[in-house]
Structure 1
Amino acid sequence: MDAAFERAVLAQLLAIPPGRVSSYGVLAALAGYPRHARHVGKLLASAPEGAGWPWFRVVSGSGHIARPGTPQADYQRLLLEEDGIELGRNGRIDLRRYGWPADFMR
């Protein structure tokens, strides 16, 4: 991943408001790199601890937390709930309600 990609994705990540989520694919598209959702995931996974990135506001395009059943997924769920986001019993987030930006998430 090059520095321009990282800067563009980080700018979009930091723009996600509290109480909202976006998907890896939407973040990639907004950053100007459509079809680079996996690269967004890799970038967020490599975030330095304590960087303050709101990585937890990024979920799959179906509204699910990646890698369910892992300690990281449990932590992400906790952070999302603290952010005011409700997850369904199946662990899915209603992207029509919480998705950002709204026009991308419908």
Structure 2
Amino acid sequence: MQAFTEKVIQIIQQIPPGKIMTYGQVAAAAGSPRAARQVTRILHSMSAQYNLPWHRIVNVRGQIVLKDEEARYFQKTSLQNEGVEVDLNDQIDLTQFQLQIQEKNHSELY
């Protein structure tokens, strides 16, 4: 497994319930700020294998953007069950729910 993939998995596993990160934020924390699409690929292909809380990852605007209605419903209800407020447009307030990480040490998220 590539080092970037390993870092992405570790970062996502550390996101606590009730907090979210963006695809780009995860990519940056893993050392490749322009690799948000790679984060999407990793989530798509490895979430089940590594039991990743993929529902805690949203786009840069704080929106749930999954096209599959069932997956979108699962993500929204999972976040709401963790106390994350999701509005009728599947929008989340990043200032309130986004996990803020330390810029100097990405391995410690909280």
TM-score range, shorter chain: 0.7 to 0.9
State the alpha-carbon separation in 1 of the partners of residues 7 and 101 from structure 2: 20
**Residues 11 and 30 in structure 2, CA contact (< 8 A), matched pair in contact too:** yes
Contiguous gaps of at least 5 residues in structure 1: none
Deviations 1:6-39 (A, max 9, x none): 1110111112111000000000000101100011
State the alpha-carbon separation in 2 of the partners of residues 24 and 48 from structure 1: 14
Correspondences of 1:22-61 after superposition (within 5 Å): 22-49=21-48, 51-61=50-60
Amino acid in structure 1 at the alignment position of 2:69? T
1:7 corresponding residue in structure 2: 6
- % identity of equivalent residues: 33
Closer, same or farther: CA 48–90 of 1 in aligned 2, 3 Å: closer
CA RMSD of aligned residues (A): 1.9
**Residues 68 and 74 in structure 1, CA contact (< 8 A), matched pair in contact too:** no
Correspondences of 1:13-24 after superposition (within 5 Å): 13-24=12-23
**TM-score, length basis structure 1:** 0.86
Report SS of the residue matched to 1:47: helix
**TM-score, length basis structure 2:** 0.83
